[in-house]
Amino acid sequence: MSEPEIIRDPAEMTAWSRAARGRGARIAFVPTMGALHEGHVTLLRQARRRGDKLALSIFVNPTQFGPHEDLARYPRDLPGDLHKAAAAGTDVAFVPEAADMYPPGHQTVVEVRELARGLDGVFRPGHFAGVATVVAKLFNIVAPDVALFGEKDFQQLAIVRRMVADLSMPIEIVGVPTVREPDGLAMSSRNAYLSPAERARALTLSRALFAARDRAAAGERDAAALLSPARAALDVDRLDYLELCDAATLAPMASLDRPAVMLVAAFVGRTRLIDNVQLGATDEIQRPPAP
């Protein structure tokens, strides 16, 4: 197990990619903000199988944090990250400085309009413009053939897919199912903030979603009938949203008549957590008979 090569300079990263591609290598890429957990390691392992060279980025992107969010206290552990990245077979870790990603005078922003409007877009104004812009920059710098993202950030994944299609970026986007703790808690770098008592309450997010999924599997189709018991099961300090949305457009749904996703965002203590489950993505939804 050898440590990945660390590259800090964007131009050097691009040169690395060009050289690898010149040798015929397919480049797989996992963008992260570091504090790697088993969810990231799963992304890296899957990426390893999809490319000849595996690139990881570690960059706590300031433009996707709001003024009152946790940028300053976001967990950082570069030595630990590099160790985990090495074990997952990472060839190169791109670890830029903010000043190199956003040199003085930068003013271009990528905005994916409709998909970024609801859900986290309401509660984190500017967040998705920050995400889309940095992902576009990382794609330009790393120039991967394939990039992998976790489905836990379902709205982010939808936005990245849309951006890649809209801007004709020649990159395959792969979504990877959420990795969970044995008790169901979705893995997140922010779980590190939770006290034991908060962690126990955080579990009500995944439990509420799983119970809704079970109700849907048992035949419930009415959105309100799926959402209200889920809402009642949450033990959180502030609920930002609990919504049932069309899995493709993220528009709210009144009835579960096509593939859907139930998404939640809530604060437990000072920690904001998100989670989601997909409903009806399989044959379990009985479609109305064709006329």
Question: Does 131 interact with ligand PAF (rule: CB under 6 A)?
Answer: yes
Of 27, 33, 95, 159, the residue at the interface with ligand PAF (CB under 6 A) is 33
Q: Does 35 interact with ligand PAF (rule: CB under 6 A)?
A: no
- Among 40, 68, 83, 127, the one annotated catalytic: 40
Beta carbons within 8 Å of 5's beta carbon, 6+ residues apart: 16, 91, 92, 93
Instruction: Kindly tell me which of 137 and 213 has the beta carbon lying closer to ligand PAF.
Output: 137
With CA atoms as reference, report the closest residue to 189 among 279, 82, 83, 75.
75
User: Please, are residues 253 and 285 in contact by the beta-carbon 8 Å criterion?
Assistant: no
In whole angstroms, the minimum distance from the beta carbon of 164 to ligand PAF comes to 13
Residues 51-70 as x/- pattern, contact with ligand PAF by CB under 6 A? ----------x--x------
Q: Which amino acid is at 168?
A: S
Helices and strands, counts by H and E, the chain? 9, 9
Token digits for 263?
């998404």
Cα separation, 138 vs 284, whole angstroms: 38
User: Strand ranges (DSSP E) for 16-169?
Assistant: 27-32, 53-58, 92-94, 146-150
Angle (CA) 42-111-108 rounded to 5° is 105
Q: Is 153 in the site for ligand PAF (CB under 6 A)?
A: yes
Tokens 């990263």 belong to which residue?
13
Among 35, 134, 185, 205, binds ligand PAF (CB under 6 A): 134
Active site residue 40: yes
Whichever of 174 and 200 has its CB closer to ligand PAF, that residue is 174
Q: Which is nearer to ligand PAF, 40 or 50 (CB)?
A: 40
Answer whether 86's CB lies under 8 Å from 7's CB.
no
Shortest approach of ligand PAF to residue 44 CB, angstroms? 13
Residue 17 or 64: which CB sits closer to ligand PAF?
Answer: 64
Total of chain residues touching ligand PAF, rule CB under 6 A: 10
Q: Which stretch binds ligand PAF (CB under 6 A): 25-33, 107-115, 256-264, 281-289?
A: 25-33
Number of neighbouring beta carbons within 10 Å of residue 65: 18
Q: Quote the tokens at residue 245.
A: 């949305």
- Rank residues 61 and 278 by Cβ distance to ligand PAF and give the closer one: 61
List CB contacts of 251: < 8 A, sequence separation 6 or more: 118, 245
Q: Judged by CB, which is closer to ligand PAF: 119, or 131?
A: 131
Residue 32 in contact with ligand PAF, rule: CB under 6 A = yes
- Told to check if 31 binds ligand PAF by CB under 6 A, we report yes
Shortest Cβ distance from residue 70 to ligand PAF (Å)? Answer: 13
Contact mark string toward ligand PAF, 155..174, x via CB under 6 A: -x------------------
232-291 binders of ligand PAF (CB under 6 A): none
Distances (CA, A) of 31 to 87, 135, 235: 17, 8, 32
Closest approach of Cβ 161 to ligand PAF, in Å? 13
End-to-end CA distance of the chain: 60
Which amino acid is located at 161 in the chain? R
User: Which residues of the chain form contacts with ligand PAF (CB under 6 A)?
Assistant: 31-33, 61, 64, 131, 134-135, 153, 156
Which residues carry out catalysis?
40
